[in-house]
Amino acid sequence: MKGVGAGVWPAARRFLGRRKGALLRLGGWSLLEAAQTFLGGYCLARALDRGFLAGDTRAGLGWLAVAAGAILLGGPLMRGVFAQLAELVEPLRDALVRRAVDRAMAGALAGRDGGGRDRADGRAVSRLTHQTEIVRDSFAGLVLTARSFFFTAAGALTGLLALAPELLVVVVPPLLLGLAMFLGTLAPMAAAQRAFLDADEALTDRVAALGAGLRDITACGTGAEAAARTRELIDAAARTSRVLARWAAVRTLALGVAGQLPVFLLLAAAPWLLDRGVTAGALMGALAYLVQALLPALHTLMTALGAAGTRLLVVLERFGFEEPAAPEPGASEPAVPEPAVREASVPVQPEPRTPRTPHTPSPRAVPPAVELRSVTLAYGPGAPPVLERLDLAVGRGEHMAVVGPSGIGKSTLTGVVAGLLAPDRGSVLLAGEPVAGRGARDLAALRVLIPQQAYVFTGTVRENLLHLAPDTSAPDLVRAVDALGIDALIGRLGGLEARVEPGTLSQGERQSLALCRAYVSPAPLLILDEATCHLDPVAEARAELALAERPGTLIVVAHRLSSARRAGRVLVLDGTSPAYGTHDELLGRSALYRDLVGHWQSV
Ligand SMILES: Nc1ncnc2c1ncn2[C@@H]1O[C@H](COP(=O)(O)OP(=O)(O)OP(=O)(O)O)[C@@H](O)[C@H]1O
């Protein structure tokens, strides 16, 4: 539950703090609403006691006329309330639009949005239109109902006090108890709603991915595995919706306690109240306060807080109020300096991506995870160079894809970066240190290279997984297995202590084990040379996302469009003129990349 809307409150306080005038005027009009409520019950009670029951019909009609006048006041009253409401709601809408535009501009200038995906445009448009309207409507609804409940309750309770203080003894305790129950459900219900939304989104993503990869799934015969993983997500979605339903039941109970119980108690306590001199008119007035004013206001408040309130929090968080130190609504965010996208033949010094370690040294002080300086490599004295004067820098924490036609030199590049192939000219540095002259043990601490033909040896599953990190704790191993989604595979193999015969494993199974081995390894750089080509697209996506989330840098030789799109940056190897940039940028300026994308889309 921690964190639900945590960053929204400071911004909300600042926003409301700057609009004290509008709040006061709104309070003024709302006081009239309290007076209207007060008059409704009070006049009814007096009409009975001093009019009809006392045999004075004219007096009774007079009091009813006053009540009717109070009701007629409702029209101008609501007009005043809505005018003040607009003074609160419209500035909020303007501030959100400004904020969405600022964020979109900052994302566009930085070359991508904050999440590193190429979705800035879609999100920005959604924030500008649909989400802004959700915030505006939900906020207006919340202010309207919260204010209405507060002033209606004030008018009704004052009326009860004026009619007979004993009425408060009967009405107030269940009202407070129900309200406390309701407030108690707010936090867990918001958390349950969030969990439900997350589970629902995960399921939607999975179904979309399954749809896209149906042909591969069928071709690879992995339908059962894909179905099993989807079933887990369906179960999770069902579980979260049951939790949500339980909290909704508690909320309904709270509404019953606060709204219906006072009515019941009032009727049950009628003899006791009459004994204490409470008049029949006062009882009738109290009933009118409960049934006509308090109960509807309470019902509206609970519904609005429960539905619109949660929706408002979630959407405001998506506007970027999730950090407690979020800037003022409307203030432009400091543009996060992203590395300028340049041709790979120009030295590129990307700054570290989102910090994954507690301390982020100044960007200039941190050498890139991988740096190639004018690297040239040919496989023989007379052979044309495969890599020629290649300059490249991959920032720490980056996820980069390498693409290019077959035979262009992708594997050669991974071999050079991994320190397995020595360039004829130029130098290769990992985390600022040259790889040349390092032994196998030294290199293993710096990077893991997983080739297309994954290496699995005869030994237990655990030995295979912990080969590069024997000291991995049991919980860390469980987390890795879970992140890569290979628990079913391990189950099929007979568990972690089962013995593996490499010849009995499929290519995909070997790749899964090798990917998990790389995941737990302490090396800060992972290089995947078509290491997922035997996995179905869903398993590939899960593995790549898990490895990208792992602290460190990820370089993937991509063989599918989806794999290239997942990466923040793409390096297109194109003979002597490589190109480096985001998917969208390369679509604009690399003919080879457009061709590759066209080819991937057609297969
Ligand atoms: N050991 C080697 N000896 C000689 N030539 C080689 C050697 N390895 C690769 N080559 C050649 O170098 C070029 C680049 O090969 P590389 O395997 O790096 O390309 P690639 O882009 O990874 O290809 P693919 O997509 O087919 O894996 C190719 O022409 C290949 O024939």
Pick the range with the lowest mean pLDDT from 195-209, 283-297, 447-461, 578-592: 195-209
Given a contact cutoff of 8 angstroms between Cβ atoms, the answer to whether 338 and 351 are in contact is yes
Handedness of CA 414, 415, 420, 423 (dihedral sign): negative
Whether ligand 1 lies within 6 angstroms of the CB of 81 is answered as no
ipTM over 0.90: yes
Q: Answer whether residue 602 shows pLDDT above 80.
A: no
Q: Answer whether residue 108 shows pLDDT above 50.
A: yes
pLDDT in tens, 416-451: 999 999 999 999 999 999 998 888 888 888 999 998
Q: Answer whether residue 80 shows pLDDT above 50.
A: yes
Pick the range with the lowest mean pLDDT from 80-89, 165-174, 236-245, 467-476: 80-89
Pairing of strands 525-529, 370-377: unpaired
Task: Say what the pLDDT of residue 401 is.
Answer: 95
pLDDT in tens, 247-283: 889 988 998 899 899 999 999 999 999 999 999 999 9
Using the atom order of ligand 1, give the atom closest to the CA of residue 452.
27
Q: Ligand 1, residues 390, 410, 599: which to mutate, most atoms within 8 A of Cβ?
A: 410
Pick the range with the lowest mean pLDDT from 22-26, 203-207, 408-412: 203-207
pLDDT in tens, 525-552: 999 999 998 998 889 989 999 999 999 9
Task: Give 101's contacts (C-beta < 8 A, 6+ positions apart).
Answer: 124, 128
Residue appearing with tokens 């991508």: 112
Q: How far is the CA of 596 from the centre of ligand 1 (A)?
A: 18
Q: Ligand 1, residues 386, 403, 556, 557: which to mutate, most atoms within 8 A of Cβ?
A: 386
Query: What is the average pLDDT across 567-590?
Result: 87
SS3 521: coil
Q: How far is the CA of 569 from the centre of ligand 1 (A)?
A: 23
Using CB atoms within 10 Å of the CB of residue 457, give its burial: 0 to 12 exposed, 13 to 18 middle, 19+ buried.
Answer: exposed
Q: How far is the CA of 394 from the centre of ligand 1 (A)?
A: 22
Pairing of strands 433-434, 425-430: antiparallel
Q: How far is the CA of 416 from the centre of ligand 1 (A)?
A: 12
Using CB atoms within 10 Å of the CB of residue 444, give its burial: 0 to 12 exposed, 13 to 18 middle, 19+ buried.
Answer: middle
Whether ligand 1 lies within 6 angstroms of the CB of 382 is answered as no
**Confidence band (pLDDT; 50, 70, 90) for 323?**
very low
Pick the range with the lowest mean pLDDT from 142-146, 384-388, 542-546: 142-146
Task: Say what the pLDDT of residue 198 is.
Answer: 78
**Confidence band (pLDDT; 50, 70, 90) for 7?**
low
Task: Say what the pLDDT of residue 453 is.
Answer: 86
Whether ligand 1 lies within 6 angstroms of the CB of 384 is answered as no
Using the atom order of ligand 1, give the atom closest to the CA of residue 415.
18
Q: Distance (Å, rounded) from C-alpha 441 to C-alpha 114? A: 37
Whether ligand 1 lies within 6 angstroms of the CB of 407 is answered as yes
**Confidence band (pLDDT; 50, 70, 90) for 333?**
very low
**Confidence band (pLDDT; 50, 70, 90) for 603?**
low
Query: What is the average pLDDT across 506-530?
Result: 94
* Number of DSSP helices (H) and strands (E) in the chain, helices first: 24, 12
Whether ligand 1 lies within 6 angstroms of the CB of 386 is answered as yes
Residue 399 DSSP one-character state: E
Q: Answer whether residue 315 shows pLDDT above 80.
A: no
| Count of beta carbons in the 10 Å neighbourhood of residue 311 | 19
Using CB atoms within 10 Å of the CB of residue 277, give its burial: 0 to 12 exposed, 13 to 18 middle, 19+ buried.
Answer: exposed
CA distances to 94, 99, 330 from 132, in Å: 9, 10, 13
Q: How far is the CA of 413 from the centre of ligand 1 (A)?
A: 10
Using the atom order of ligand 1, give the atom closest to the CA of residue 557.
22
Using the atom order of ligand 1, give the atom closest to the CA of residue 414.
18
Query: What is the average pLDDT across 327-332?
Result: 32
Task: Say what the pLDDT of residue 351 is.
Answer: 33
Q: How far is the CA of 532 from the centre of ligand 1 (A)?
A: 19
**Domains of the chain by residue range:** 7-164+311-336, 165-278, 368-376+386-602
Using the atom order of ligand 1, give the atom closest to the CA of residue 409.
18
pLDDT in tens, 166-184: 999 999 999 999 999 988 9
Nearest Cα residue to atom 30 of ligand 1 = 407
Nearest Cα residue to atom 26 of ligand 1 = 406
Mean pLDDT of the chain: 82
Residue 292 DSSP one-character state: I
Nearest Cα residue to atom 7 of ligand 1 = 379
Q: Ligand 1, residues 388, 390, 408, 557: which to mutate, most atoms within 8 A of Cβ?
A: 408
Structure tokens at 365: 């002080």
Q: Answer whether residue 352 shows pLDDT above 70.
A: no
Task: Say what the pLDDT of residue 275 is.
Answer: 95
Q: What percent of the chain has pLDDT over 90?
A: 45
Q: Answer whether residue 340 shows pLDDT above 60.
A: no
SS3 573: coil
Whether ligand 1 lies within 6 angstroms of the CB of 455 is answered as no
Whether ligand 1 lies within 6 angstroms of the CB of 387 is answered as no
| Count of beta carbons in the 10 Å neighbourhood of residue 300 | 17
Q: How far is the CA of 10 from the centre of ligand 1 (A)?
A: 58
Whether ligand 1 lies within 6 angstroms of the CB of 467 is answered as no
Whether ligand 1 lies within 6 angstroms of the CB of 379 is answered as yes
| Alpha carbons within 13 A on the beta-carbon side of 265 | 18
Using the atom order of ligand 1, give the atom closest to the CA of residue 530.
27
- CATH match of 368-376+386-602 with 1.10.150.120: no
pLDDT in tens, 355-364: 333 333 344 4
Nearest Cα residue to atom 11 of ligand 1 = 407
Q: Ligand 1, residues 388, 411, 450: which to mutate, most atoms within 8 A of Cβ?
A: 411
Task: Say what the pLDDT of residue 441 is.
Answer: 82
Beta strands in 537-595 (DSSP E): 553-557, 569-572, 579-581
Residue of 190 and 329 predicted with greater confidence: 190
Q: What percent of the chain has pLDDT over 70?
A: 83
Whether ligand 1 lies within 6 angstroms of the CB of 414 is answered as no
Using the atom order of ligand 1, give the atom closest to the CA of residue 413.
18
Q: Answer whether residue 142 shows pLDDT above 50.
A: yes
Task: Say what the pLDDT of residue 354 is.
Answer: 34
Whether ligand 1 lies within 6 angstroms of the CB of 408 is answered as yes
Q: Distance (Å, rounded) from C-alpha 360 to C-alpha 80? A: 53
Q: How far is the CA of 453 from the centre of ligand 1 (A)?
A: 15
Q: How far is the CA of 432 from the centre of ligand 1 (A)?
A: 27
Q: Ligand 1, residues 376, 377, 379: which to mutate, most atoms within 8 A of Cβ?
A: 379
Nearest Cα residue to atom 9 of ligand 1 = 412
Q: What element of type H or E holds 394?
A: strand 387-394
Pick the range with the lowest mean pLDDT from 227-236, 302-311, 457-466: 302-311
Q: How far is the CA of 386 from the centre of ligand 1 (A)?
A: 8
Q: How far is the CA of 529 from the centre of ligand 1 (A)?
A: 12
